[in-house]
Amino acid sequence: MLKSTPTMNILVVEDEGLASSRLCKMIKQCAADAHILFVADGVESSLKWLSEGGNPDLAFFDIQLGDGLSFEIFEKTNISFPVIFTTAYDEFALKAFKVHSIDYILKPIVKEELDAAIQKFRKFHSGNAVSNDSIKEVIELIRPSRKSRFLVKVGEHLRSIAIADVHYFYSSNKFTFLNTDDNKHYDLSHSLDEIEQMLEPGSFFRVNRQFLLSLKSISDIVMYSQSRLIIRLHHPSDEEVIVSREKVSLFKEWLNQ
């Protein structure tokens, strides 16, 4: 009787469809015994799958996801399996990873680096989960300083806008702006992803890729098709503000804090 070949069961956490398909294909090319158990597209879907008993031998976590950072998965559940992060973070962040012996692959992922990471896992890390404490230390090292105000340019003048005076942040045509209590709009040099990490947790909510809202900016919430929500703003935007389907549950939790 032939013995069955052991399977390496893998979880992939990646919110970009093309990127996740490419990564899954490359994993199978690098490891003939690889079996993709599940592909999660965000923090919430990862937590749901894990809560239902998902338990891979190895996972690949993209760091920046549509509904948050994959680090949040470690903060909300106990990870009992090894993780390799896929990241586009800068050199300073990578030094933090190295100090804590956390495996990572730089994006864009190339087959040679992926193969090396899998071989390293087979040799050294099989059965050893990433330390939740180590992850928390890395989060603190790479997280930008919390801001209390933003410096904006108004013609030839500079103005300092306090976070407390901001209704919402938004992106439009590859630029980022903030909207203030007096309904003024100012452009910023930071991306919406960067701004999200600069704010105190819970002070604003990223409802979709374009809008980061404060509670005071919301005038009404309307049920929309397929379990989505439409947000009416006190200072209306040119773009309709819709809470993406995968964020509705987290948004309701934020409203109920």
Give pLDDT tens digits for 89-126. Answer: 666 567 667 655 568 888 888 899 999 989 888 887 65
Task: Report d(CA 29, CA 32) in Å as an integer.
Answer: 7
Res 147: pLDDT: 82
Res 1: pLDDT: 44
Using alpha carbons only, give the angle 94, 99, 101 rounded to the nearest 5 degrees: 90
What average pLDDT does the chain have? 86
pLDDT tops 50 at residue 16: yes
Res 96: pLDDT: 61
Cα 85 from chain centroid?
12
* Letter string b/e over residues 145-184, b meaning 16 or more CB atoms within 10 A of that residue's CB: eeeeebebeeeeeeeebebeebbbbbbeeeebbbbbbeeb
Q: Which residue has the higher pLDDT, 123 or 28?
A: 28
Superfamily of domain 149-255: LytTr DNA-binding domain (2.40.50.1020)
What residue ranges do the domains of the chain occupy?
8-142, 149-255
Say if CB 22 and CB 69 are below 8 A apart: no
Residue type, 107: K
Number of H helices, E strands in the chain: 8, 17
Res 150: pLDDT: 93
pLDDT in tens, 186-225: 999 888 888 987 888 789 999 998 999 999 999 999 988 7
**Residues with Cβ < 8 Å from 17, sequence gap 6 or more?**
41
Beta bridge mates, 83: 59
How is domain 8-142 classified at the architecture level of CATH? 3-Layer(aba) Sandwich (3.40)
Res 93: pLDDT: 66
Res 214: pLDDT: 96
- Which stretch of 42-56, 133-147, 225-239 has the lowest confidence by average pLDDT? 133-147
Q: Which residue has the higher pLDDT, 126 or 177?
A: 177
The pTM of the full predicted model, rounded to 2 decimals, is 0.59
